[in-house]
Amino acid sequence: MTPADEIHEQGCVLLRGAIPFGTVIQYKNALDDIYRKMNGNGDVSGHEFYKHSELSMKELFSTPEINRAAIDYLGHPSPFNSTFMSVSVNSENSIRGLGLHTDGIIQGTTTEVFCMWAPLHECGLDAPGLAIVRAGKESVMRYLQKRFPDKKIPGWHSALEWNSTNAFTEEAIQAEFGEPWKPVMVPGDVMLFTNWTIHGSNITPQMTMKRSAAIYRLSNRTILQRLGDHEFQFFGRRYNLKSWVRSHIA
């Protein structure tokens, strides 16, 4: 079974040692430099990171194994978004993590998205790791439709509304899918999943160390194609963003 087959079947696959250790440490050091300069520990976008370090997220994840999995899953991968996220129990050090969710319910489900998550520190034992539900798109879609019966799925998404329900509590998810997988991971390991995979931070009060992760997402549609999904109004007339960009810029 290929990594893409595993993603179809169970929503995720963990590639051990997928990126050379030394490369990951170079990115970790660059991120620490940025935090020192900015005197902060929040999220850093891939774009901001590149401006400071000239290290690109694309290159970090560009190994033959990962490229193959992305092509097998998406066909023609195109950059979607990228960020570095640092998590610890001490919120002065970083953010305190994210509860269980699917990226699609927040960022949209009309585009297929392939997500790569790589820790820059050891995690899952002394530092927060990743909690991930081993369930494929079909079963997650069935679950979401059951929990949000009046919404069109795929289609509906909301940055806030999903979070005002109990659809993503540990208890609700466990009752439907069983205990989420919480693997111990080291720099070089990469978890691959999609915008349908239920996941979040694995954090307990005992995890006293900080962990950073590089997160890079690709989609099966280019930015221009995605713009075609959006309409806007100007002086009472409706415009399609993609057609507008084509005629005025592209």
192 vs 242, beta carbon nearer ligand AKG: 192
- Distance of alpha carbon 16 from alpha carbon 37, whole angstroms: 32
Angle at 122 between CA 120 and CA 125, to 5 degrees: 140
14 vs 130, beta carbon nearer ligand AKG: 130
- Distance of alpha carbon 1 from alpha carbon 161, whole angstroms: 37
143 vs 168, beta carbon nearer ligand AKG: 168
Q: How far is the CB of 186 from ligand AKG (least distance, A)?
A: 15
Interacting residues with ligand AKG (CB under 6 A): 85, 87, 97-98, 103, 128, 130, 199-201, 213, 215
- Distance of alpha carbon 64 from alpha carbon 18, whole angstroms: 9
Q: How far is the CB of 24 from ligand AKG (least distance, A)?
A: 15
13 vs 85, beta carbon nearer ligand AKG: 85
Phi then psi for residue 177, to 5 deg, are -120, -5
Q: How far is the CB of 248 from ligand AKG (least distance, A)?
A: 33
Q: How far is the CB of 176 from ligand AKG (least distance, A)?
A: 19
- Distance of alpha carbon 14 from alpha carbon 188, whole angstroms: 11
- Distance of alpha carbon 82 from alpha carbon 191, whole angstroms: 15
97 vs 188, beta carbon nearer ligand AKG: 97
Q: How far is the CB of 236 from ligand AKG (least distance, A)?
A: 38
What token pair was written down for 166? 């109990």
77 vs 119, beta carbon nearer ligand AKG: 119
Q: How far is the CB of 233 from ligand AKG (least distance, A)?
A: 31
